[in-house]
Amino acid sequence: MEECIKNIVMTNINVEGDIIELGVYKGRNTFIIGNLLKSMNCKKKYIGYDTFEGYTQNDIDNALTEKQKKALLSGNKRKIWKVDEKKILEKIHTENLEDYCQIIKGDICDTISNCKSEKIQIIYVDCNAYLPAITALKSLKSKLQDSSFIVIDEHTIGGETASLREFMKETKGKLYKLNTTYLTGPRIIYHVKIGEKESETYLEIEKKLKSRYKIVNKLEKE
């Protein structure tokens, strides 16, 4: 899975913009991406958003199905998403990643509007709940570049697929399904196209995507 994440980042590393993750958990992707950017002395930044407490009541109330609502309630009850973000910050400091990684704690629906990134290369959606996912995608839409990526972590679990399906009605791009048998991990790539014309960069990245992943026409319903 680590190689998969690196491939996603590297595929369009030359596209301007930062890397946003919705749902940090214990920071696994934080350190994979942060160290990759550091090794390349890259000007990009990783910015991770999470409550570190679990799902908010709004997340639960706005779940699209009873199945999703029960899953969110179960997660909160078991406290599986409750994480001490200080440990992540300490590791960022220990690995000298402060110039590459930033962590934003709080309800994504509230904090995402304050995103300082002028341009975004990747939005990595791993928050499971529909409301924070769609709120963030809409908030960050104007910051996406031609050949930006939206990556869905668990496309058959939670409200992530629904949020992308809704977002796609207002944007243009192509869908790719990653070849993975993991229960978790990146599953779907949405390759964003800005404008009518396919730029050289877009076409070049399309070739890479088609050589690695399966192109799909639509996201299946949950």
The predicted-structure confidence for 81-91, as pLDDT tens digits, reads as follows 999 999 999 99
* Domain, as residue range, for 29: 2-216
Whether 144 shows a pLDDT value over 90: the answer reads yes
The predicted-structure confidence for 21-80, as pLDDT tens digits, reads as follows 999 999 999 999 999 999 999 999 999 999 999 999 999 999 999 999 999 999 999 999
Residue 119 lies in a domain: yes
Integer Cα distance of 59 and 119 in angstroms: 27
C-beta atoms surrounding 24 within 10 Å? 26
Residue 170 lies in a domain: yes
pLDDT of amino acid 4: 82
Alpha-carbon distance values, 34 to 13, 40, 45, 133, 151 (Å): 13, 10, 8, 22, 17
Within 8 A by CB and 6+ apart from 176, the residues are: 188, 189, 190, 191, 209, 210, 213, 214, 215, 216
CATH number of the domain that 184 lies in? 3.40.50.150
Residue 82 lies in a domain: yes
Structurally, how many domains does the chain consist of? 1
Residue 161 lies in a domain: yes
Within 8 A by CB and 6+ apart from 119, the residues are: 16, 17, 18, 143, 145
Question: pTM for this one?
Answer: 0.94
Q: Would you give the DSSP letter of residue 216?
A: E
Residue 162 lies in a domain: yes
Residue 221 lies in a domain: no
Residue 222 lies in a domain: no
Residue 107 lies in a domain: yes
